[in-house]
Structure 1
Amino acid sequence: MPRNVVVLLDNSDGRSMIKEACKENGMHFAEFEELVQAEVEQTGKQRRAGLWDSFDDILDRIQADDK
């Protein structure tokens, strides 16, 4: 993920806060980062074709890992 795009992920305090929120909500931090990355990759595009497919793939993988 390009640096400085998501400010909370670019500094240690922000990352710690997000990691704690992920932990409280039963989500792995790496999975959160992957979802954010899918969104960031769409930045600047007029149409966000494929974003929902990316989200579905990521979330399906998360559910499969939890079984």
Structure 2
Amino acid sequence: MPRDVVTLFAQDAGKKLIRKHCRQIGLPIESLRRLVEEVVDKSTMQRRHGLWEAFDEVLGEKDDEEVDSAS
């Protein structure tokens, strides 16, 4: 399934909105894209198992990057 099924990533206005809000909360846009991909990949109820673990992995990488840059 194409990732641009989420129209925010496919439209200029959506991309602008994503940049604005990601900047406000300190979330890299690529991390948001990966989180959305996990939701799309696990869109059926049978595949939702593991979604929280995938989110933890993506968000944990963001935290790791912040720790590395602070050192």
Q: Same fold (TM over 0.5)?
A: yes
TM-score range, shorter chain: 0.7 to 0.9
Q: Structure 2: which 5+ residue stretches go unaligned?
A: none
Deviations 1:7-32 (A, max 9, x none): 11111110111111101111111111
Q: Residue 45 of structure 2 corresponds to which residue in structure 1?
A: 46
Cα distance, 1:3 vs structure 2? 4.6
Cα distance, 1:35 vs structure 2? 0.7
TM-score by length of 2: 0.82
Q: Residue 14 of structure 2 corresponds to which residue in structure 1?
A: 14
- Secondary structure in 1 aligned to 2:42? coil
Q: Residue 33 of structure 1 corresponds to which residue in structure 2?
A: 33
Flag as ranges the 4+ runs of structure 1 deviating above 3 A: none
Q: Structure 1: which 5+ residue stretches go unaligned?
A: none
Number of matched pairs: 66
- Secondary structure in 2 aligned to 1:49? coil
TM-score by length of 1: 0.86
Name which one, 1 or 2, has greater alpha-carbon Rg: 2
RMSD value, Cα = 1.5
